[in-house]
């Protein structure tokens, strides 16, 4: 097959798969939370309520698309698209199987960190352009939270880079053929997991949209498909962080018997379900506690992990 056609088909498959998965995760989350909290959850719209995401989509398309007076209209309209676009572009470097990825970059980790940083513009611009004090406070919270935890996220990945000797995600997966990096880099894995939760502002780190304090935070004034894009962007972001965790710490596509793509999907789904169940299991801390915990505890641990990994690599002659 022509390489260009093959790449276009892969792009189409990843795009359709991600958007479909983001919709299905709405149903998965509601059913899992209901099971966790001993209640029914969605059970009327289709078998087991599985068509609830279709009903949500119809509702998003048919609701009034309202723009608040006094808002910065171009920025207000553009902001929701940023989070979806950056998350989808970041998926281009994810290796789904040996030699199967849209882009094979030698600076894959840097590309991921750059795009995850750009996602902050969506929430900050959305909160600022809404002309609403609650939205602005949510955007400011998000900026402080993401700026803080991006530092720890980058540091947590340096141990993986040292052990694999590469920034290329394919090379990192291949370097785990003998042992997954979650074993020698368990501290790095935990730090990246916490940073990923903060980056995706999922519970318990959802302070930018804390309902009891900020109504809905940065997306208070959004409705219709613009709100739907924030919603989709959040689930795509959770899927992206789960896929990166699997790639960097859990051997990516590697596994016995099953095809590589199946192994990658199963591992990624395990972390997506973990992210969902955290919502029902852990209370939300105060915002100042989250930032203080990051700078006073997570940062020193990340630096110690990096220093120890470098020292061991030097001692072994790597």
Q: 72-108 pLDDT, tens per residue?
A: 888 888 888 888 889 889 989 999 988 888 888 899 9
The tens digit of pLDDT for each residue in 210-250 reads 666 666 677 777 878 888 888 888 888 889 999 999 999 99
Q: What pLDDT, in 10s, does the model give residues 257-315?
A: 899 999 999 999 999 999 888 887 777 777 788 888 888 888 899 999 999 999 988 88
Three-state SS at 286: coil
What is the rounded CA–CA span in Å between residue 172 and residue 109? Answer: 10
User: Which pTM does this prediction carry?
Assistant: 0.91
Share of the chain above pLDDT 90, in %: 26
Domain of 19 in residue numbering reads as 3-315
Res. 47: pLDDT tops 60 = yes
What's the structural domain count of the chain? 1
The end-to-end CA distance of the chain, in Å, is 40
- Cα–Cα distance between 252 and 265 in angstroms, integer? 9
Q: Write out the two tokens for 259.
A: 């095809």
Which phi and psi angles does 168 have, rounded to 5°? -80, 130
When pLDDT is cut at 50, 70 and 90, the band that residue 69 belongs to is: confident
Q: 77 and 67 in contact (C-beta within 8 Å)? A: yes
Taking the CA of residue 97 as centre, how many other CA atoms within 13 Å lie in the half-sphere pointing to its CB?
A: 11
């Amino acid at each position: 097959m022509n390489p260009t056609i093959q790449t276009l088909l892969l792009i189409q498959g990843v795009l359709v798969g991600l958007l479909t998965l983001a919709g299905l995760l709405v149903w998965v989350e509601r059913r899992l939370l209901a099971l966790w909290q001993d209640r029914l959850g969605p059970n009327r719209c289709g078998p087991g309520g599985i068509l609830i995401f279709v009903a949500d989509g119809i509702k998003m398309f048919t609701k009034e698309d309202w723009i608040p007076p006094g808002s910065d209209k171009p920025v207000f309209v553009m902001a929701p698209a940023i989070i979806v676009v950056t998350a989808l572009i970041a998926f281009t470097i994810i290796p789904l199987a040996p030699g199967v990825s849209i882009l094979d970059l030698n600076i894959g980790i840097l590309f991921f960190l750059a795009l995850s940083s750009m996602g902050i513009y969506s929430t900050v611009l959305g909160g600022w352009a809404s002309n609403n004090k609650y939205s602005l406070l949510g955007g400011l919270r998000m900026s402080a939270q993401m700026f803080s935890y991006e530092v720890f996220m980058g540091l947590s990945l340096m141990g993986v880079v040292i052990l694999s000797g590469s920034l290329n995600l394919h090379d990192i997966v291949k370097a785990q053929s003998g042992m997954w990096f979650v074993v020698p880099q368990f501290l790095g894995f935990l730090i990246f997991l916490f940073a990923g939760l903060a980056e995706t502002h999922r519970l318990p780190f959802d302070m930018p949209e804390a309902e009891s304090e900020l109504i809905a935070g940065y997306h208070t004034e959004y409705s219709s498909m613009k709100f739907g894009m924030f919603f989709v962007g959040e689930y795509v972001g959770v899927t992206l962080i789960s896929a990166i965790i699997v790639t960097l710490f859990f051997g990516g596509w590697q596994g016995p018997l099953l095809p590589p793509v199946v192994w990658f999907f199963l591992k990624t789904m395990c972390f997506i379900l973990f992210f969902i169940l955290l919502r029902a299991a852990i209370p939300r801390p105060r915002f100042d506690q989250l930032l203080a915990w990051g700078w006073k505890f997570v940062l020193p641990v990340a630096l110690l992990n990096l220093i120890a990994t470098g020292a061991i690599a030097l001692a072994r002659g790597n």
